[in-house]
Amino acid sequence: MQMNVNYTSLVAVGDSFTEGMSDLRPDGTYRGWADLLAARMAAHSPGFRYANLAVRGKLIGQIVAEQVDVAAAMQADVVTLVGGLNDTLRPKCDMKRVRDLLEEAVERLAPSCKQLVLMRSPGRNGPVMERFRPRMEELYTHIDDLASRHDAIVVNLYGAPVLGDQRLWDVDRLHPTAEGHRRIAEAVWQALGYPPEEDWQTPLDAAVPLNWAARRVADARFARQHLVPWIGRRLTGRSSGDGRPPKRPDLLPWDGPLP
């Protein structure tokens, strides 16, 4: 592993995972692994610049159409690309189209930066994960192939058992908690060649199992607050990201707190 890396800029491309849901700040905005990573990189590189183009709900076609060329034009040292998982969670998904669009994105981004970072995204252990696992693994096999052909780094979050722990996932069961995002930031940090600060794969302490009643209450809350609205958006062709701009659309010097 490299120990003397000095990247001076980062552009993050993707969907809600990269936007930072559900790592809420006190002011109600989202932080997330990409912001955490940028802060740590900025501490190592004066004048460090960062853009985050990710928007919740985006499918891979929208990421390619709305974010990829913008990111490529920024000529950043590091570009992270995480996309396609929203597509795999749809009832109907053309996996060939998803693979082709992801390949198009990689072909545009890889020449524009010093280091492209791809991910095998994690998933919360449970029945939803099992239902969509074959599609996810097909996507990740393609990501591995693209990385080998374009000298990209793959951060294998999917292969880390701890990130399947339900306690690292928000009540919406789709997005990591603050602790989940913190571990993901550490994983990307290490993959880029920075010195490790911790073992991000360390398991959580043993959990006290919820009783039947507590599980049913949690399931009912999830269905009411998250599942029903999600189904409603699917049926009406809407997205949680409709009309929402990126939270950090320009490649500007990091102006947030340093770790």
Per-residue pLDDT tens digits of the chain, which is 259 residues long: 455 789 999 999 999 999 999 899 999 899 999 999 999 999 999 999 999 999 999 999 999 999 999 999 999 999 999 999 999 988 889 999 999 999 999 999 999 999 999 999 988 777 777 888 999 999 999 999 999 999 999 999 999 999 999 899 887 878 999 999 999 999 999 999 999 999 999 999 877 675 766 556 655 565 555 555 555 555 555 566 667 899 999 999 999 888 7
Q: What is the DSSP letter of 112?
A: G
> Which residues fall within 8 angstroms of residue 10, CB to CB, at 6 or more apart?
34, 37, 38, 41, 48, 49, 50, 51, 76, 77, 78, 79, 80
C-alpha 24, offset from chain centre: 15
Nearest CA to 128 out of 89, 172, 82 is that of: 89
pTM: 0.88
Give me the pLDDT at residue 130, please: 82
Q: In what order do the strands lie in the sheet with 153-156?
A: 153-156, 115-120, 78-82, 9-14, 49-52, 248-253
Judge whether 20 and 31 are in contact, CB under 8 Å: yes
> Which residues fall within 8 angstroms of residue 231, CB to CB, at 6 or more apart?
none
Measured between alpha carbons, how far is 199 from 193 in angstroms, rounded to an integer?
Answer: 14
The domains found in the chain, sorted by start residue, are 9-206 (3.40.50.1110), 208-241 (no CATH)
Burial 42-71 (b: 16+ CB within 10 A, else e): beebeebbbbbbbbbbbbbbbbbeebbebb
Q: What is the pLDDT of residues 4-47, one digit of tens each?
A: 789 999 999 999 999 999 899 999 899 999 999 999 999 999 99
Neighbours of 138 (CB within 10 A): 16
Neighbours of 205 (CB within 10 A): 7
